[in-house]
């Protein structure tokens, strides 16, 4: 099946899209990655998304307008990828869209809203579109996150001989843990780049939106007193399953912790970088992870990666990129959604209840029919493996 997966993450930096040929044979998904693009949002659209997100308030007409504009942007990317990779012949597009609000109350997800109307994608490509991928899991009592647990469990194995973790460093950090004698678990750890990005954007008056190559963090020194205050955040001690987002970790959160304190710009960024490293390292250690596979934009920040390694130096944890499984780290999230679309149109479950905290696994998403309807398969055919048929792939044990 020719499938496109797409997402703009919590960092709303770019639309990530992949084109994959997916085949299900004997409970293994065989994947061929034909294309991956990262298309930055137009500057105007990006600043309107920023204006929409908490703690800002918005209007329902702006929500409608951005739902259309984001849907059209996704549609344009999907159509061009469909053309270049499938000569226009794409069966399924699964679009995560843009999260604008993730409603968590008393440790439970109550609702989640992703915008970017999928009808535009269907109209532009003729494909069956799967959108609104998180809501059904929320309705089943789950957090609707981290959905990455699906691809993580398929790649790392449901019960590998050693404890393995898959860590994604996007706006938020999340982890999936699998091991020999446990059900897989997954949860959001805390801010990965969200607070660093907020700090850099604020301190540079918008001239920069992230700490490129970690240069500011490298110049700064960690302010241990400030760091201790950040680490006192109750979210970190809350039990999994749990999810969070920019509803909590936004600029006001940062400035209220800073208060009247005089801290240099570089020291602020260095401290936030260390906050990400410490919170991540703590979970990796507490979960007894011996092999960690990392993905997301944070892997491109050498200072952050170095800080994570330093914080785990006493533990026997090997750290590598998810690329070891044949999938470039930057394409992982979009690939997840391609996989979800592939399963959903065939009536197969895409969530892992022990990871999202739901009562049971569900078929994810809302479907917008395309040119042709796709036949549902029996759940007994559901895959238990994912293999990338690209260079560097293969069984990994």
Ligand X SMILES: Nc1ncnc2c1ncn2[C@@H]1O[C@H](COP(=O)(O)OP(=O)(O)O)[C@@H](O)[C@H]1O
**What is the contact surface with ligand X in residues (CB under 6 A)?**
9-11, 13, 170-171, 193, 196-197, 210-214, 296-298, 300-301, 333
Pick the piece of the chain touching Mg ion (CB under 5 A) from 9-17, 182-190, 237-245, 372-380. Answer: 9-17
Q: Which does 128 bind (CB under 5 to 8 A by kind): ligand X, Mg ion, none?
A: none
* 5: partner contacted, choices Mg ion, ligand X, none (Cβ within 5-8 A by kind): none
9 counts as binding Mg ion under rule CB under 5 A:
yes
Angle at 286 between CA 285 and CA 289, to 5 degrees: 50
CB-wise, 157 or 297, nearer to ligand X? Answer: 297
53 binds, among ligand X, Mg ion, none (CB under 5 to 8 A by kind): none
Q: 193 contacts which partner out of Mg ion, ligand X, none, CB within 5 to 8 A by kind? A: ligand X
**From the CB of 14, what's the least distance to Mg ion, in Å?**
5
104 vs 334 by CB, closer to Mg ion: 334
Q: Name the residue nearer to ligand X (CB basis): 196 or 280.
A: 196
Nearer of residues 4 and 148 to ligand X, judged by Cβ: 148
Q: CB-wise, 197 or 283, nearer to ligand X?
A: 197
Q: Cα–Cα–Cα angle for 226, 188, 326, nearest 5°? A: 115
11 or 176: CB nearest Mg ion: 11
Site for Mg ion contains 11 (CB under 5 A): yes
Choice between 11 and 125, CB closer to Mg ion: 11
Residue 40 or 107 with smaller CB distance to Mg ion: 40
Stretch that binds Mg ion, among 10-18, 179-187, 215-223, 374-382 (CB under 5 A): 10-18
Contact 276, 168 (CB under 8 A): no
Which residues are within 8 A (CB) of 105 and not within 5 positions of it... i.e. 6 or more apart? none
The only residue of 13, 132, 188, 223 in contact with Mg ion, by rule CB under 5 A: 13
| End-to-end CA gap in the chain | 28
Residue 131 CB, nearest distance to ligand X (Å)?
Answer: 17
State the virtual CA torsion across 281, 282, 285, 291 in degrees, nearest 10: -30
Instruction: Tally helices (H) and strands (E) across the chain.
Output: 13, 13
329 lines the binding site for Mg ion (CB under 5 A): no
Residue 208 buriedness (CB in 10 A; 0-12 / 13-18 / 19+): middle
Q: How far is the CB of 257 from Mg ion (least distance, A)?
A: 25
- We find the least distance from the C-beta atom of residue 199 to ligand X, in angstroms, to be 10
DSSP state of 174: E
Residue 117 three-state SS: coil
Site membership for Mg ion, residue 298 (CB under 5 A): no
Phi-psi region of 228 (alpha: psi -120 to 50; beta: other; left: phi over 0): alpha
Are the CB atoms for 41 and 56 separated by under 8 Å?
no
CB 352 within 8 A of CB 153: yes
CA angle, residues 105, 111, 114, in degrees to nearest 5: 130
Sequence-separated (6 or more) residues with CB below 8 Å from residue 265? 199, 203, 216, 220
The least CB distance from residue 374 to Mg ion, in Å, is: 29
The least CB distance from residue 288 to ligand X, in Å, is: 26
Q: How far is the CB of 298 from ligand X (least distance, A)?
A: 5
Please state, in angstroms and rounded to a whole number, the distance separating the CA atoms of residues 231 and 250: 15
Closest-by-Cβ residue to Mg ion is 9
Interface contacts to Mg ion, rule CB under 5 A: 9, 11, 13
């Amino acid at each position: 099946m020719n499938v496109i997966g797409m997402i703009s993450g919590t960092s709303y930096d770019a639309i990530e899209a992949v084109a994959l040929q997916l085949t299900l044979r004997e409970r293994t998904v065989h994947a061929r990655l034909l294309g991956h693009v990262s298309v930055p949002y137009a500057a105007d659209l990006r600043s309107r998304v920023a204006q929409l997100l908490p703690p800002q308030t918005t209007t329902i007409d702006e929500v409608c307008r951005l739902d259309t504009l984001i849907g059209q942007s996704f549609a344009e990317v999907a159509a061009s990828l469909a053309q270049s990779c499938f000569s226009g012949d794409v069966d399924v597009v699964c679009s995560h869209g843009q999260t604008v609000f993730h409603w968590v109350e008393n440790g439970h997800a109550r609702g989640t809203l992703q915008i970017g109307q999928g009808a535009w994608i269907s109209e532009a490509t003729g494909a069956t579109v799967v959108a609104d991928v998180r809501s059904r899991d929320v309705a089943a009592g789950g957090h609707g996150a981290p959905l990455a647990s699906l691809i993580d469990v398929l790649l790392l194995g449901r019960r590998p001989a050693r404890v393995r973790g898959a860590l994604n460093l996007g706006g938020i950090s999340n982890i999936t843990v699998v091991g020999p004698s446990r059900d897989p678990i997954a949860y959001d750890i805390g801010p990965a780049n969200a607070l660093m990005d907020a700090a850099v954007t604020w301190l540079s008056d918008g001239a920069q939106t992230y700490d490129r190559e970690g240069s500011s963090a490298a110049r700064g020194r960690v302010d241990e007193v400030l760091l201790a205050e950040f680490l006192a955040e109750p979210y970190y001690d809350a039990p999994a399953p749990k999810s969070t987002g920019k509803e909590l970790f936004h600029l006001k959160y940062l400035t209220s912790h800073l208060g009247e304190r005089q801290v240099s710009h570089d020291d602020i960024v260095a401290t936030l970088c260390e906050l990400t490293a410490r919170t991540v390292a703590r979970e990796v250690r507490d979960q007894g992870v011996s092999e960690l596979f990392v993905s997301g934009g944070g892997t491109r920040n050498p200072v952050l990666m170095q800080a994570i390694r330093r914080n785990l130096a006493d533990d026997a944890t090997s750290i590598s990129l998810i690329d070891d499984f044949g999938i470039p780290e930057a394409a992982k999230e979009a690939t997840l959604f391609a996989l979800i679309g592939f399963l959903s149109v065939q009536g197969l479950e895409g969530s892992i209840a022990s990871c999202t905290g739901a009562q049971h696994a569900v078929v994810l998403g809302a479907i917008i029919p395309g040119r042709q309807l796709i036949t549902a398969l029996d759940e007994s055919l559901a895959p238990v493996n994912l293999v990338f048929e690209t260079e560097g792939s293969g069984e990994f044990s």
